Amino acid sequence: MVLADDRILEFLNEEEAASPSEMVKSGVVRYSNGYVSQRCQKLVEHGLLKRFGSGVYAITDRGEGYLRGEIDTSEDAPDEVESSVDDGPTASENHEQA
């Protein structure tokens, strides 16, 4: 995450959706159109933005969580999802039992 990412997410948190050029024209996101477009694509890859047709982006629930400080993007591992289904012992647990 870089400073531009925070500005993009903050802008889209206030607006429903926008293109990189609209973000730049607003004056809130003070980077080149090409750079904002690249950062938006990165944010989509990390699930923080959703891309609609014609290069328009909107913030996701995950992006809103990031702004609230609930998501740490410095970790490389994806978010863990707890399963309510017990798949039985893992391979390492089976080995320990043997």
Long-range contact list for 19-28, CB < 8 A, 24+ apart? 19/54, 19/55, 19/56, 19/57, 20/55, 20/57
Has residue 90 been placed in a domain? Answer: no
> What pLDDT is recorded for position 75?
56
Has residue 31 been placed in a domain? Answer: yes
Has residue 25 been placed in a domain? Answer: yes
pLDDT digits (tens, 9 = 90+) for 47-84: 999 999 889 999 999 999 999 999 887 754 444 433 33
14 has a pLDDT exceeding 90: yes
User: Which domain does 36 fall in, by range?
Assistant: 3-52
86 has a pLDDT exceeding 90: no
- pTM comes to 0.73
Has residue 59 been placed in a domain? Answer: no
Has residue 35 been placed in a domain? Answer: yes
Domain count for the chain, please give it. 1
